[in-house]
Amino acid sequence: MSATTPVGPAANTPPPAALVRSGRRHARVSAGTRASGASRPPGRGRLTRPERIWGRIFIAPPVLGFALFALAPLLFSCYAAFTHWNGLSSPVFSGLTNFRTMAGDPQFWQSLWNTLFLMIGIPIGLAISLALAIALNRRMPGRAAFRVIYYLPGVSSVAAISILWQWALNGDFGLVNELLRMVGIDGPNWLAEKTWVKPALILMGVWKGLGFSTLLYLAALQSVPRNLLEAAMLDGAGAWRRFRHVTLPMLSPVTFFLVVTGIIGGAQMFAEINIMTPTGGPEFGSATIVWYIWQQGFQNLKLGYATAMSLVLGALIFLVTAFQFYLNSRNVFTVE
């Protein structure tokens, strides 16, 4: 939050109503920045020739890297998606064949649906991590230890976590079913049953992402201006209303960031699936779209088709992310 907040007697403190939901984009430049910007207008003419050259040299590696490893493959993919290409010899132009195949490919749609279903874990994970962050934001013994413990999965290898969970979700001796047994529930055979394989993967995903989300929420909680909370309290707001109308809106940028990155990451889920259910799960129940793209491209020599699916996936991610940005722009909270 870049807006300057008045500091002074409580009577002069703007009430929580000053948190404004606006449809307009807000200038995120502070007065100080504007002033300094005005005194030093940017301009090409202010740089000397050697400075410009050095500037270009410094930006060359990332620009070249992007062009070579992102832009060129992307452009090539745009062409390859319209070809019959097996990855062993040159592509042969095939028009819209790949896209027509995709439209009638039940496994493509199922893997897309599976991917979407697994994203249920995003709001669940956010809710739990927010609760955890609130808990860890209090002064309590062992607070640092808890923070480290929750963050550990975030720095662990995906392969190791997947193998660990493969055992934890074991139908007979797995930890999950052992815990369920303690409360009298006979747990399912998680990874071998079509109904339960996706919830099992969601469970693992939530556990894995908890540390990172909690950490970000914790940082955001600690930067909620205290004067706003105090002002709300003086206005008679209870704990829940303070949380609902002050804390939660102030956390919205972090929530937005986590939702966007969660959806992008969720759409690219691969390693966990390939390790835990290497054949795409019972009745293709856990095959994600990226796993299916990999299988088609590298197992079945259909790189043209795989590339076409990648483009569609990329377009979908772009559209969803753009829509999220649009929604976010209508829900920006600032302090005026």
Binding site for another protein (CB under 8 A): 68-70, 72-74, 76-77, 80, 84-92, 170-173, 189, 191-192, 194, 268, 270, 279-280, 282-284, 290, 293-294, 297-303, 306-307, 310
DSSP-assigned beta bridge partners for residue 93: 83
**Residue 267 beta carbon to another protein: minimum distance, rounded to whole angstroms:** 12
Q: How far is the CB of 244 from another protein (least distance, A)?
A: 40
The secondary element (H helix, E strand) that includes residue 212 is helix 194-222
3-class DSSP state of 334 = strand
Find the largest Cα–Cα distance for the chain.
77
Nearest-approach distance from CB 156 to another protein, in angstroms: 18
Which residue's CB is nearer to another protein, number 214 or number 286? 286
Pairing outcome for strands 92-93 and 83-84: antiparallel
Nearer to another protein, 298 or 325 (CB): 298
| Contact status, residue 168 vs residue 174, Cβ threshold 8 Å | yes
Helix, strand, coil share (%) of the chain residues, nearest 5: 70, 5, 25
* 5 or 300: CB nearest another protein: 300
In this complex, which beta carbon is closest to another protein, that of residue 27 or of residue 78? Answer: 78
Taking the least distance from each CB to another protein, the nearer of 37 and 73 is: 73
Minimum gap (Å) between residue 250 Cβ and another protein: 36
To another protein, the closest distance from the beta carbon of 161 in angstroms equals 17
Least spacing, CB of residue 56 vs another protein, in Å: 24
The answer to whether 51 and 268 are in contact (CB under 8 A) is: no
Give CA–CA dist 294/296, Å, rounded: 6
Q: Which is nearer to another protein, 69 or 325 (CB)?
A: 69
Cα-only R_g, the chain:
25
d(CA 8, CA 218): 27
